[in-house]
Structure 1
Amino acid sequence: MPISADHIRTTLIAYLDTHPEGKPDLAPVLALLDTGAGLTSRKEFRAHATAGAILAGPDNRILHIHHLALDKWLLPGGHLEPEDETLQAAALRELCEETGIPVTSVSPAGDAPIHIDVHAIPANDAKGEPEHQHIDFRFLFRTTSTDISTLQAEEVVDAAWLDVDAMKASALGQRVAIALC
Structure 2
Amino acid sequence: MDPGAVVPASRLPVYIEYGRVPARPEKREPEHYHLDFGYAFTTSRAEVGRIQESEVTGAAWYPLAEAQRLVGDRIARAVISPPRAG
- For 1:119, the aligned partner's letter is G
Deviation at 1:134, TM superposition (A): 0.6
**SS of 2:58 mapped into structure 1:** strand
Identify the structure with the greater helix proportion: 1
Normalised to the residue count of structure 2, the TM-score between the two structures is 0.62
Matches within 5 A, 1:1-181: 101-145=1-45, 147-148=47-48, 150-152=49-51, 154-155=53-54, 156-162=56-62, 163=66, 164-168=68-72, 174-181=73-80
More strand as a share of residues: 1
Identity %: 33
* 1:105 to partner: Cα distance: 0.6
* TM-score, normalised by the number of residues in structure 1: 0.34
Give the superposition deviation at 1:133: 1.5
- CA RMSD, aligned part only? 2.4
Q: How many residues are treated as equivalent by the alignment? A: 75
Instruction: Assess if the C-alpha contact under 8 Å between 1:151 and 1:158 holds in 2.
Output: no
5+ residue gaps, structure 1: 1-100, 169-173
Q: Relative contact order: is structure 1 or structure 2 higher (C-alpha 8 Å, sep ≥ 6)?
A: 2
| Cα distance in 1 for residues equivalent to 2:9 and 2:77 | 12
Name 1:20's counterpart in structure 2: none
Unpaired runs of 5+ residues, structure 2, are 81-86
